[in-house]
Structure 1
Amino acid sequence: MTVQPRQNNLEVRWIRFRVLLVATGLLFGFLLLIGRSFQVQFFQWEGWASVANKQIRRDFHIEARRGEIYDRNGQELAISIELESLAANPRAIKDPEGAAKKLAAVVEIPATRLEKKLRQHRAFVWLKHYLTPRQTDAVRALGLEGIHFVKENRRYYPNVELAGHLLGFVGRDHIGLEGLEVAQDLLLAGESGTHPGAKDARGQIIYTHGLPAASGPQAYSLRLTLDKRIQYIAERELQKTVTDYGAKGGMIVVTEPKSGEILAMAVFPSFNPNSFSSYGPAVWRNRAVTDAFEPGSTFKIFLMAAALEEALVHPDDLFYCENGKYKVVNHTIHDLKKFGWLSLAQILRFSSN
């Protein structure tokens, strides 16, 4: 009878020990948690705050608006216009096939191609760059979930083919590829900027420092010596002359004699820089700048004018034209006809070499 109370006493003591052990463990863990919290909040807060900021904060890229190009009178030759481009978040689209069919009728892209993009396991895909205002309104009217717009700047040449060879064009990435657009790309492109912001768990942009400026960074613009009216006349007459004589092409450069300023630079065949990809490199080439030509008989006028101005010759002076053949070292210069004695005026008249 004396053994029973003793066993009960041992069990009670063992239970108390276990409770005390668990309580001690919990208290120790709680103290560690408080100590760690104190360490993080008072001694390591700068480091952890930096990690958190890196995870949510972003410096969003803001593209500089490309500078304009004007003629000498301030007439626009090349400008940048802001258009809506179409993008999608495929993860938010429940019916890719239905959405593709509705969009295809508006943006003029095959539904099968759109559906393939809308079925991608990505958060962002481009559907079409540079929508027309009518297309933008039509897509908005559809009210499709997961479809959104992105504003993009597009280079536009309002005079179509006018001075196309001189102006050149830019690519999709807004980098100059031909003409003045590439020659002055550093000035026209400017420097892009950034705007601070953050992204939430859904990837939505949060502008923590207010909305970015509507215009964005601005680049330099160019004002040329070119005169739009003279350029138009030069191109019109050049096209007419090439067509009338069945020539392969032609060039006209109009300059201001006293200053040397270029007033017009026309090349034919011409091209439309708004749709430059429809042409080829041979057509893009500004032959008035890149190609070298012998001045030929046209330079006789300047040579003769200089000789008369210096009083080295007179209009009635006679020169022997070697009967159409004259040898200089190892080269023989030929005339169109076998001329004998000609006066200075006759040399110019018959274009004798």
Structure 2
Amino acid sequence: MNKRAKLRSLLIGGVFTLLFVALVGRLYWVQIIEGKWLLAEAQKKWETEEVLRPVRGTITDRNDKVLAEDAPAYTIALNPDMIRKYHLDSAVTTGLASVLNTSDDPADLAALQEKIRSKIVKTYSVPNPQVEIRNEGWKIDAEVAEQIKQMVEEWKKQADASNIGVYLLKDTKRFYPGGKMAAQLLGYSDKENKAVMGLEAMLDSDLKGVPGSLTYEKDLNGVELPDSKVSFVPAIDGNNVRLTIDKNIQYYIESALEKAYNQWHPKSMTAIAADPNTMEILGMASYPNFNPNQYWNSKPQDFQNNAVASQYEPGSTFKLVTLAGAVEEGIFNPNDSYMSGSIKVPGNILHDYNTSWGPITYLEGLKRSSNVAFVKLGYEKLGKDKLKSYIDKFGFGAKTGIDVPGEVAGMVAMKNPVEFATATYGQGLTATSIQQTAAYAAIANGGKLMQPHVVKEVYNPKTKEVVRTIEPKVIRQVVSEATAKQVSEYLETVVSDQKIGTGKKAAIEGYRVAGKTGTANKVEPGKKGYAPDKWVMSFIGYAPVEAPKILVTIIADEPDVGGDFHLGSDVTLPAFKEIVSQTLRYMGIPSSAQQMKSAEKEIKVMMPDLAGMTMEQAKIAMNKYGVSIEAIGKGTKIVEQSPAPGTEIGAAERIYVTMQGSDDLTIPNLTGKSLRDALEVCSFLNAKCQSTGEGYVASQTVESEGDVKIVTLQLKPYNELLQTPPPADSSDGKKDKASGTAKSGDSSKAQDTPDKKVVQQNR
């Protein structure tokens, strides 16, 4: 027994000795041989590094109103084990789905409920897992988060617990206060903070800033260790960007576009507002659009910025180029006549939309938007080389260089005579809205083609130091200042002539407006030739003509006009008028009459000799002074005028002229005129005038005593005059037999011009 005990003790002692030797050996190996490496590995586990995210720069309008900024957001995280522990599975599933669901489709709500439920009932490999609900519960707005907070408090009361496994993790996301406002221009940053499109993507290097970092040592619970090494690199916030956009004008644009879009249901509708003197873009919008705060709910076509990324055959708005070239070359005589209707060019016959006008003047051809007039001016008189030269000068066929991503250059590739001829009125080539805007601005500002831009400056948000400023840039002088002024006056007649002007619905009371309509047939996709009932309808104009402050382009692609192109002016002109009239008031621009009245105190002009001019020529000559002209008689040429040539006149003056071939001049209807104006007419016609009452002419009678006519005027105050029914014409003029009232001329509705071309184009 003793031997056995001794042997057992020896064996046990030997085992412990071996274990001790092995332990000492292992300690030596760990501490001495691998100690340095293990310490380095431990430090890696102790250390933690947090990325400090910079604040993305803010995008504002020209008046520092915020268009895009970083804002607080929250992400929903769930602890399924805890939710199940308190038997809140059903309540959490139903409650969260009801708040996070944005669809009206019951199937979408059911799908979201199943998605949340599956996360709660799933068994995870780690204890107390934390799972997120993406994408519906990822970076939600503070308003939605507040609703969830209220529900969580109710669930806590129900479970009698302070933690029921539903958390709101603080985060930030990109927020667009205006919602859909300027959406295609701004673009958006997604929930992963990636700039996807628009200015957000183009200016990403300016906006994103530089991330920082924080490194320190921590224990297993994430608590910082005493005397740990701390390394801190601060984040550098992104720069702010100030745009040329004016948020108010942007609102006017989008409000007007939305009305037109909902009424006419085009494939798309686009508008650009610009300061023609600098080509700063004041507003830019396309419909349909999208909400960058909910970009995932949009369709692919909603993201396209048609102002720069869509090209189309412009139609009659392109006639500006032909007109400007003809005026610059001295070959446009507004009173020369031509035979409208159709014109033959090598390879085809081109037509006006109306073939019954007969011989008309070129100025009337502009007002009526006659294609034949511009074929004769551009193809026959300018010639192919000069026509192409002016197209190039005005910037067509090349990008404008606007600081907006996605710009296309358009296509200008005329080869045969027909293509050159149709190019004179804007078919057979393509252009963009921004190219057209820049071209019209060149006429409005005195002949300078300028590079459009939407970024005004980039600056440091903390120091306010300006990093980069974008100044207005002149590309080239395309026509002389005198030519630009003359073309503006011609374009003004398109709007001011309320009888035949295709742009008459763009007239704004008190302001001089210039502009041009366009209605271009569209090519049938996959077929040769043009679709008979699909058009691009447009209007481009600016005001006030004497000192333009606002230029607006409106484009409607395939509006639903029921096959009637004559409705083109109803699609675009009301929107133009709404935008421009609101903008002029917002800018505080005085009316043209007010400006002329103010200038009259300082500036007087000498009355020119109008004898021998037509009425149209006289209006153009006097329009620059804001002076009204009234004709007496029905001849074609002016023979007399009042005031006489050489008389000093101001803007408040009214000019009266008598027309050739009117020997027995009749007294015109003076109703509504002031006594002063009525007396001037009577004096000019050598008639005796007497009046009763005070105010403005309400009625008149004309009697004759030998060769002298006696005019008796009944006057009433203006407010009473407004309430008085229009009297029958009591002038001594002839009356319309059917109505018994004085004939006032053709009141038929002027229509916009479809740029009809009966020729196959090579595209």
TM-score of Structure 1 vs Structure 2, range by shorter chain:
0.7 to 0.9
- What amino acid does structure 1 have at the position aligned with 2:186? L
After superposition, the Cα gap between the structure-2 partners of 1:299 and 1:112, relative to the gap in structure 1 and judged at 3 Å, is closer
Cα contact 2:340–2:360 (8 A) shared by 1: no
Alignment of 1:135-174 (within 5 A): 135-140=148-153, 142=156, 143-174=162-193
1:219 is aligned, of 205, 227, 238, to 238
Aligned-residue offset at 1:125: 0.8
Matches of 2:243 and 2:304, distance apart in 1: 20
Matched, 1:315 2:317: no
Matched, 1:176 2:195: yes
Of 259-268 and 183-192, the range deviating more from structure 2: 183-192
Matches of 1:120 and 1:211, distance apart in 2: 40
SS of residue paired to 1:132: helix
Matches of 1:342 and 1:312, distance apart in 2: 20
Aligned-residue offset at 1:255: 1.8
Aligned-residue offset at 1:217: 5.8
Matches of 1:247 and 1:21, distance apart in 2: 99
Aligned-residue offset at 1:148: 2.6
SS of residue paired to 1:108: helix
What does residue 83 of structure 1 align with?
73
Cα contact 2:340–2:370 (8 A) shared by 1: no
1:26 is aligned, of 10, 13, 16, to 16
Matched, 1:66 2:66: no
What does residue 275 of structure 2 align with?
256
What does residue 4 of structure 1 align with?
none
Alignment of 1:1-353 (within 5 A): 11-12=2-3, 15-16=5-6, 19-20=9-10, 22-55=12-45, 57-95=47-85, 97-102=87-92, 104-105=94-95, 108=98, 113-122=115-124, 123-127=129-133, 128-129=137-138, 130=140, 131-140=144-153, 142=156, 143-196=162-215, 205-206=222-223, 218-243=237-262, 247-308=266-327, 310-316=328-334, 318=336, 320=338, 323-328=341-346, 330=347, 332-338=349-355, 342-353=360-371
Percent of aligned positions that are identical: 26
Cα contact 2:97–2:113 (8 A) shared by 1: no
Aligned-residue offset at 1:151: 1.6
What does residue 3 of structure 1 align with?
none
Q: How many residues are paired up?
A: 338
Cα contact 1:197–1:206 (8 A) shared by 2: no
Matches of 1:281 and 1:292, distance apart in 2: 18
Matches of 1:117 and 1:212, distance apart in 2: 38
Matches of 2:63 and 2:230, distance apart in 1: 36
Of 18-27 and 115-124, the range deviating more from structure 2: 18-27
Aligned-residue offset at 1:323: 4.4
Per-residue deviation, residues 286-334 of structure 1 (Å, max 9, x unmatched):
22222112232112234323442x3523434636457413325x46543
Cα contact 1:96–1:115 (8 A) shared by 2: no
Matches of 1:274 and 1:212, distance apart in 2: 36
Matches of 2:68 and 2:224, distance apart in 1: 32
SS of residue paired to 2:312: coil
Aligned-residue offset at 1:189: 4.1
Cα contact 1:301–1:348 (8 A) shared by 2: no
After superposition, the Cα gap between the structure-2 partners of 1:19 and 1:82, relative to the gap in structure 1 and judged at 3 Å, is same
Aligned-residue offset at 1:63: 4.5
SS of residue paired to 2:68: strand
What does residue 723 of structure 2 align with?
none
Matches of 2:311 and 2:87, distance apart in 1: 57
TM-score, scaled relative to structure 2? 0.39
| Long gaps (5+) in structure 1 | 1-7
Aligned-residue offset at 1:265: 0.5
Matches of 1:46 and 1:140, distance apart in 2: 52
Matches of 1:235 and 1:46, distance apart in 2: 68
Matches of 2:312 and 2:186, distance apart in 1: 22
| Long gaps (5+) in structure 2 | 100-111, 157-161, 372-763
Cα contact 1:88–1:125 (8 A) shared by 2: yes
Of 288-297 and 266-275, the range deviating more from structure 2: 266-275
Cα contact 1:61–1:195 (8 A) shared by 2: yes
Per-residue deviation, residues 198-240 of structure 1 (Å, max 9, x unmatched):
7765xx5445679999x96633433222111111112222333
Of 233-242 and 317-326, the range deviating more from structure 2: 317-326
SS of residue paired to 1:145: coil
Aligned-residue offset at 1:113: 4.6
> Is the helix fraction higher in 1 or 2?
1
- What amino acid does structure 1 have at the position aligned with 2:164? E
